[in-house]
Amino acid sequence: MMQAIFLSYRRERRCRWQYERKFHTRFRMIEATFNDLVELLRPALKRVIYNSRSKQPIFVELVVAIGLRWLAGGSYQEIENVFGVSTSEAYRSRNKFIDALLNCDQLQIRLPTTVTKWEEVRKGFESKSSGGVINGCVGVIDGFFQRSLMQRKKDCANNQKIYFSGHYEHYGVNCLGIFDVEGRYLFFCVASPGKTNDAMSFVNAGCHEILRDMPAGTYFVSDAAFELSEILITPFTGSQRANPLNDSFNFFLSQARIRIEMSFARFSGNFRFCYMFNLLIDLV
């Protein structure tokens, strides 16, 4: 009897584990997080239930699921087949989900606003640095190239070439992100057209003004594409690396810089819409 109960328990646990793994694969989050997201977005999406023209209402959970599947790289054919919605409803649900996501106050990306919060970020980076060598870092900053379709002439004053990146050999925009040691966003913006380098994007985004209220003795870390300043530390390059002390400094600096590379890789790996070349960036 006990053996049958044990085997039944094992089968149940295995089925539950497989369900949770498949759920995470499809929606890029566990079910509990999905439910939390639904509740956050419900005030903005609940009206969809009453506006449905189909036999059954389009519930908030369905809208969130459609939006997450699209962000994860799901095609519209897949969304239509899996969720049983029309093409127009797939587009409509995706757009409503994105709008609700961007307008949700609890999900806004914000820099720390108090000395205590800045200190928590600083201690996080110090704990990841060997011997606490990098002890003033409060964030890592880097550029992210988002590919897109060629911009329409009317949207870019007939200057479409400025959106073409020779490095990536594609049209797109240059984004700028700042992350903490856990890979969480502290700041993110679409900084400039794709042809612009990271250093100029930093200026265009107004980061000097945004970051001027940092606590004394703190700084951000970036790669050599940015310009060295009091609030931005960059690695040694070229012949400077021949000096053993400079090379050691680069090693300790890389322990902080690797955090943003991991964050971008996690973001683009989970949400495959970044690799959709048919995106059209709305220039506002």
Domain count, the chain: 2
Domain final residue, candidates 76, 106, 136: 106
Same domain, 116 and 181: yes
Q: Give the residue numbers spanning the domain of 224.
A: 110-275
Same domain, 72 and 192: no
Model pTM score: 0.80
- The string of pLDDT tens digits covering residues 136-179 is 999 999 988 888 888 778 777 788 888 898 888 888 888 899 99
For 47, 91, 208, 251, the CA distances from 67, given in Å and listed in that order, are: 16, 9, 35, 40
What pLDDT is stored for residue 272 in this prediction?
79
What pLDDT is stored for residue 85 in this prediction?
85
Same domain, 183 and 197: yes
What pLDDT is stored for residue 122 in this prediction?
92
Q: Which residues fall within 8 angstroms of residue 73, CB to CB, at 6 or more apart?
A: 271, 272, 273, 275, 276
Instruction: Tell whether 284 is covered by a domain.
Output: no
The kind and range of the H/E element at 40 are helix 31-45
Domain final residue, candidates 81, 106, 131: 106
